[in-house]
């Protein structure tokens, strides 16, 4: 499998798995903190199971994208992209772990869960919407800059990447749906790579 195709497949897998996880969480979280999460426990548990699989796919996506650049890789922006990508994964995994903890507390009928659920929900949303999405935005900007310098992607796609990244950086919202921007972008990029006949500079068979 050629590296661009591997990147596309990994990107699509990440986008689909992560978006599905967000949708399941967004449609299952109680509207108020007094309602136990266990009421939608199976859907939330499914979302928490899909999240690490999405993270594995993202690591593959990140690795093969860097390999695709080959000798054209800019060390500065490549380092920023790698660092922000790993921080995105770290904050996302931590956020999902907090959600898993809240679900476990909600399953304990004898525990007073109101304050714990409220704290956990706030921590989860801060990790996801304050830190995670901003790291995703930095990742998109650094990758878009590399594409702009190397010509690996069309200019319209680079401009769209910048606009979406700036949106993630400046929008302050605790709606979990904001996080959908990143996986949707990854799917669009991956589909373009998968369907584009152009070979990337420095791409090698793997």
Q: How many Cα atoms occupy the beta-carbon half-sphere of 144 within 13 Å? A: 20
Please give the Cα distance from 206 to 3 (Å, whole number).
6
pTM of the prediction?
0.81
pLDDT of amino acid 31: 65
pLDDT of amino acid 199: 47
pLDDT of amino acid 202: 44
Q: Is residue 22 within 8 Å of residue 186, measured between CB atoms?
A: no
pLDDT of amino acid 139: 94
pLDDT of amino acid 194: 82
pLDDT of amino acid 76: 82
pLDDT of amino acid 159: 95
Sites in the chain below the pLDDT cut of 50: 1, 199-206
């Amino acid at each position: 499998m050629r590296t661009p195709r591997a990147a596309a497949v990994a990107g699509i897998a990440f986008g689909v798995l992560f978006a599905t996880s967000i949708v399941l969480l967004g449609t299952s979280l109680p509207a108020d903190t007094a309602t136990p999460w266990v009421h939608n426990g199976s859907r939330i548990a499914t979302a928490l199971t899909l999240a690490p699989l999405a993270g594995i796919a993202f690591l593959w996506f990140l690795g093969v994208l860097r390999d695709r650049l080959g000798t054209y890789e800019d060390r500065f922006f490549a380092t920023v992209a790698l660092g922000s990508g790993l921080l995105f994964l770290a904050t996302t995994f931590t956020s999902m772990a907090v959600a898993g903890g809240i679900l476990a507390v909600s399953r304990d009928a004898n525990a007073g869960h109101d304050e714990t659920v409220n704290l956990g929900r706030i921590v989860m949303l801060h990790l996801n919407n304050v830190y995670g999405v901003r790291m995703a935005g930095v990742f998109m900007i650094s990758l878009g800059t590399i594409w702009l310098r190397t010509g690996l992607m069309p200019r319209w796609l680079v401009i769209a990447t910048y606009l979406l990244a700036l949106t993630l950086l400046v929008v302050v919202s605790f709606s979990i749906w904001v996080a959908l921007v990143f996986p949707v972008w990854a799917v669009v990029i991956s589909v373009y790579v998968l369907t584009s006949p152009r070979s990337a500079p420095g791409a090698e068979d793997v």
